[in-house]
Copies of this chain bind each other. A is one copy, B any other.
Amino acid sequence: MYRRRDDPRGQMIADITNDLRRYSTEAQHVGHAFAGLHGLNATDLHALIAVMDAELFGDPITPGRLGEVLDLSSGSVTALVDRLERGGHIRRDRDTADRRKVFLHYADRGATLARDFFGPLGQRTDEVMGRFSDEELAVVHRFMAEMVVSMREHRDAVRAARGEPRRGATERAAD
């Protein structure tokens, strides 16, 4: 769409670029719509997923880190966590060792919501994957994994371009 080339490979690259952009856009719309359906906004859903990811990874997230991940101010994070806690999606737990810290854990309601979100999505994804061989999926995985790395670098570059360079840099792979 934005690059037109005459050679087949160039065309293929342009096509994939469009695919990726469309996929991301639609994914965002899905998130937006799903969130609205459940009385949340897009940020809330992101936050909920981040909390779940961190916990599943065995390393609960704190409000501070959540703010870094979502690129929110500390005040917004407090409001966000308040909302999610009030809605029964997550819990706050003070760290016993360092009592300044607060760990965020998902509550039942949050877990249910996440399952409802990813379940149907995963089903559709599985259908598509069913039409590809193991070797083909391996190629797709290799490609997408590299794209994720590339996109993370780009995100950091863009974030760094405004104001202070951000702290977190490429945070660990757990999301």
Contact = CB atoms under 8 A, between A and B. Distances in A.
B151 A53 contact: no
B13 A129 contact: yes
Contacts of A161: 33, 37
Contact of A141 (B15, B26, B33, B147): B15
Contacts of A148: 19, 22-23, 26
B1 A56 contact: yes
Given A8-B134, A144-B16, A24 B22 contact: no
Nearest to A153: B124
A137 B9 contact: yes
A100 to B, nearest CB: 27
Interface residues of A, number: 69
A162 interface: yes
A36 B8 CA distance: 36
A21 B175 CA distance: 9
A160 to B, nearest CB: 9
A12 B138 contact: yes
A16 B150 contact: no
The residue among A1, A3, A131, A148 with the most chain B CB atoms within 10 A of its own CB is A148
Top-4 shortest CB links A-B: A19-B144, A24-B27, A26-B151, A33-B158
28 contacts: A1-B53, A2-B118, A9-B134, A12-B138, A13-B125, A13-B137, A15-B141, A16-B125, A16-B140, A16-B141, A17-B122, A19-B147, A20-B23, A23-B24, A23-B144, A23-B151, A24-B28, A25-B46, A26-B154, A28-B28, A29-B71, A30-B154, A32-B71, A33-B71, A37-B161, A124-B153, A128-B146, A140-B140
